[in-house]
Amino acid sequence: MDVKKEIEKLRKELQDHNYRYYVLDDPLISDYDFDMKLRRLQELEGAHPEYYDPNSPTQRVGGEVSKNFPTVVHEYPMYSLANSYSKEELQEWEKRLHKLVDGPIEYTCELKYDGVSISLLYEDGQLIEAVTRGDGTQGDEVTHNVRTIRSVPLKLKGDYPDRFYIRGEIVLPFEGFSMLNAERVERGEEPYANPRNTASGSLKLQNSAETARRPLDCLLYFVVGKSLPISTQYESLRRAREWGFKVPKESKLVKGIDGIMDYLSYWDERRHDLPFETDGVVVKVNSLAQQEALGFTAKAPRWAMAYKFKAEQAETVLRKITYQVGRTGAITPVANLQPVLLAGTTVKRASLHNADQIEKLDVREGDSVYVEKGGEIIPKIVGVDFKNRNPESHPTVYLKNCPECGTELVRAEGEALHYCPNSAACPPQVSGRIEHFISRKAMDIEGLGAETVNLLVRSGLIHNYADLYELKKEQILPLERMADKSAENLINGIAASKMIPFERVLFALGIRFVGETVAKKLARHYKNLEALIAASEEDLKEIDDIGDRIAQSVVAFFEAEANQVILQRLKTYGLQMEVKEKDELGQTDKLKGKSIVISGVFSRSRKEMKELIELNGGKNTSSLSGNTSYLLAGENMGPSKRKKAEELGIPIISEEDFMQLIA
């Protein structure tokens, strides 16, 4: 089989498997087999850049960087919906419709998902553009980030129209939301408030590779365009499924107000069983001809109405306020409640977030409190029943000392959280930092998990992550559930971690506010640990996306004497403390301060071209603006990009020109 045919065959297979996994939830192959096919496709595309396709399955990992999101005017306005908060209002709306159009009216009832509205443009079956709702007239173009969402088809199947828009919601499922918040709490950061805001923020991340790490989903429900081969809303949902879109199956076709009311009653009870956040039902006139006859008001279509569910709330007693200590020493107050049934689950605990929240609510032990599920998943206290308050109760005095080690807590100016500064000896911090150090994205030490870390800490064998590299097999064999083979695997895993690259070592150190992306930037900029340690706050802030908070945290970490001792030990044990050159050109500052947009096909892969820009100090951006330094033009570059570059006076350079710049 020739290369082009194999690439096309792999792309088709992967698109089909992706559709079955993320849309139908019916996979045919294992994750491993999928990854092997994807890896083979990546190798072929890398070796043959002339077959580049922006809608290839390999492009879902992201990597595009965008400081600004261009504003795009909607060809068809994205109207908001009229809201109804009572069934009586819905009945009145239905009566008005019969006065405005002749004949019987059918309705489609669809669940109203609480996400971020999005409009996707497809031409010739390929995703061209993704734009947020914005103000309904114009929105932000976020195509690079939306491409990373697995349930968004990059190429359609079946008999689809030549050009059309499809609209829906970008949502964050509860499971993914819980996972993200667990990671944030582990890092000592405030948890996200709700799935909708988190999904919205994810679409505006400047690096699409970061968006790709968020478990976003896309639910679509409305097709717009000229001369479309559909006559009803319900038919459009069925056809969109055939084309490959993830269209919720909970929609239903009903014939009158009784059918609408039955649908509302059914889902008001069962919405909590869904994996997504829902806040109501949207009722639409089914016939597109009747929709056209009904038309629009200045703000909303007359043919649709949103019915909002009431927020589910319960009243219970706050028995006790306790405090948890995270890996970074962050203190989280927790309300321990008298168990109460809420949204289908029994709630016993709720986060109180921080001292300011406790003071704002004036919440006290023994109070009767109102509890809601923020984002339908995280219980939160939203108020106090002051009528039932014991007149002898006293305001809550926030904890002054760490509940684990007794150290006096501190709170930095401008910060919401209190912290335990005893990072060297506070047990949850010690275990938490070691667990972070060994985690998969950090040192990835095989044979070592959280349970084993706690065993090692409790037994006194380790007090920090540097101690791991002095462990002997005979020391750990006596530990509970530690057999000869598992002890050997643990020691071998620790030894193998010495080859982990510097950027991951830097992430593993657990410096506050230094995640994977920041660690990578610092490693690429300073190239070795000594240079990074010598950097001042002002030096650090010159790096893109490094602000006051990160700079202060990095400097404070390296100034701490205990950390200096540990770092010296890690260096002695042979961990990687400098960047290994990845390209014969090496890393330079020749493109420092330069912002480059690449477009077209090159002799090298686009990924390699972008890496060369970054390795030489430049910045990849996805769209042209007055701040763009160069448009790097390959073959088959679109004429619109060239025209815009010429209008803005941006120099257009070839691949050969670029290689001379960094030679």
pLDDT of residue 376: 45
Contacts of 643 (CB under 8 A, 6+ apart): none
pLDDT at 49 over 90: no
- What is d(CA 225, CA 129) in angstroms, rounded to the nearest whole number? 15
pLDDT of residue 63: 53
Q: Which stretch of DSSP H or E encloses residue 102?
A: none
Most confidently predicted of 236-245, 453-462, 645-654? 236-245
Domains of the chain are 3-61 (1.10.287.610), 71-308 (3.30.470.30), 313-388 (2.40.50.140), 427-499 (1.10.150.20), 502-573 (1.10.150.20), 595-662 (3.40.50.10190)
Most confidently predicted of 200-209, 326-335, 582-591, 603-612? 326-335
Structure tokens at 509: 């150190």
- What is d(CA 66, CA 484) in angstroms, rounded to the nearest whole number? 51
What are the residues facing 301 on neighbouring strands?
Answer: 296
Cα 269–Cα 274–Cα 278 angle in degrees, nearest 5: 75
Q: Which stretch of DSSP H or E encloses residue 33?
A: helix 31-47
- Output the DSSP codes for 508-545: HTT-TT--HHHHHHHHHHH-BHHHHHH--HHHHHTSTT
Based on the residue annotation, tell me whether 67 is a catalytic residue of this protein: no
Closest CA to 210 of 509, 520, 505, 506: 520
- Output the DSSP codes for 406-460: -PBPB--TT-SS-B---TTT-HHHHHHHHHHHHSTTTT--TT--HHHHHHHHHTT
Report the DSSP pairing between strands 331-342 and 313-325. Answer: antiparallel
The two most distant CA atoms of the chain are separated, in Å, by 87
pLDDT digits (tens, 9 = 90+) for 296-306: 887 889 999 99
pLDDT of residue 397: 95
Q: Is 352 exposed, middle or buried (0-12, 13-18, 19+ CB in 10 A)?
A: buried
pLDDT at 468 over 90: yes
Closest CA to 421 of 399, 436, 405, 434: 405
Reported pTM? 0.54
Q: Is 156 exposed, middle or buried (0-12, 13-18, 19+ CB in 10 A)?
A: buried
Can you state the angle between helices 561-573 and 548-559, rounded to 10 degrees?
A: 80
Q: How many residues does the chain have?
A: 663
Contact criterion met (CB below 8 Å) for 177 and 377 = yes
Contact criterion met (CB below 8 Å) for 396 and 363 = yes
Alpha-carbon 285 to chain mean position: 35
pLDDT at 21 over 80: no
Structure tokens at 638: 């679109």
pLDDT digits (tens, 9 = 90+) for 641-652: 788 888 888 999
Phi and psi, residue 574, nearest 5°: 100, 15
pLDDT digits (tens, 9 = 90+) for 50-71: 888 877 877 766 555 555 788 8
Phi and psi, residue 481, nearest 5°: 55, 30
pLDDT at 15 over 60: yes
- What is d(CA 252, CA 166) in angstroms, rounded to the nearest whole number? 19
- What is d(CA 219, CA 240) in angstroms, rounded to the nearest whole number? 11
Across all residues in the chain, what is the average pLDDT?
Answer: 87
pLDDT of residue 584: 37
- What is d(CA 277, CA 280) in angstroms, rounded to the nearest whole number? 10
Cα 329–Cα 330–Cα 332 angle in degrees, nearest 5: 135
Q: Is 111 exposed, middle or buried (0-12, 13-18, 19+ CB in 10 A)?
A: buried
Identify the residue whose tokens are 């050009």: 163
pLDDT digits (tens, 9 = 90+) for 542-593: 887 788 889 999 999 999 999 999 999 999 999 999 988 653 345 677 887 7
- What is d(CA 180, CA 190) in angstroms, rounded to the nearest whole number? 11
Contact criterion met (CB below 8 Å) for 317 and 338 = yes
pLDDT digits (tens, 9 = 90+) for 387-434: 889 989 999 999 999 999 999 999 988 788 899 999 888 989 999 999
pLDDT of residue 294: 93
Torsion-angle region of residue 643: left (phi > 0), alpha (psi -120 to 50) or beta? alpha
31 confidence band (pLDDT: 50, 70, 90): low
Identify the residue whose tokens are 């684990």: 404
pLDDT at 269 over 50: yes
pLDDT digits (tens, 9 = 90+) for 152-162: 999 999 999 99
For the chain, state the CA radius of gyration: 28
pLDDT of residue 4: 85
Closest CA to 315 of 371, 362, 364, 366: 371
pLDDT digits (tens, 9 = 90+) for 314-336: 899 999 999 999 888 889 999 99
What is the spatial order of strands in the sheet that 217-224 belongs to?
126-132, 116-123, 163-171, 217-224
Range with lowest mean pLDDT among 121-135, 579-593, 600-614: 579-593
Range with lowest mean pLDDT among 159-173, 201-215, 238-252, 321-335: 201-215
Catalytic annotation, pick one of 112, 155, 284, 380:
112
Q: Which amino acid is at 385?
A: D
Q: Which amino acid is at 649?
A: G
- What is d(CA 578, CA 239) in angstroms, rounded to the nearest whole number? 55
Q: How far apart are the first and last CA of the chain?
A: 38
Q: Which amino acid is at 498?
A: K
Cα 359–Cα 361–Cα 363 angle in degrees, nearest 5: 80
Contacts of 58 (CB under 8 A, 6+ apart): 38, 41, 42, 45
Contacts of 398 (CB under 8 A, 6+ apart): 333, 355, 358, 418
Report the DSSP pairing between strands 83-84 and 116-123. Answer: unpaired
The whole-number average pLDDT for the span 526-540 is 94
Torsion-angle region of residue 63: left (phi > 0), alpha (psi -120 to 50) or beta? left
Q: Which amino acid is at 391?
A: P
Contact criterion met (CB below 8 Å) for 471 and 448 = no
Phi and psi, residue 439, nearest 5°: -65, 165
- What is d(CA 27, CA 413) in angstroms, rounded to the nearest whole number? 51
- What is d(CA 524, CA 616) in angstroms, rounded to the nearest whole number? 10
* pLDDT-above-70 percentage for the chain: 93
Structure tokens at 651: 């120099």
pLDDT digits (tens, 9 = 90+) for 616-628: 878 887 677 777 8
Cα 545–Cα 550–Cα 555 angle in degrees, nearest 5: 130
Long-range contacts of 201-205 (CB under 8 A, 24+ apart): 202/145, 202/170, 202/172, 203/116, 203/118, 203/132, 203/142, 203/145, 203/146, 203/170, 204/69, 204/140, 204/142, 204/145, 205/145
346 confidence band (pLDDT: 50, 70, 90): confident
- What is d(CA 600, CA 589) in angstroms, rounded to the nearest whole number? 25
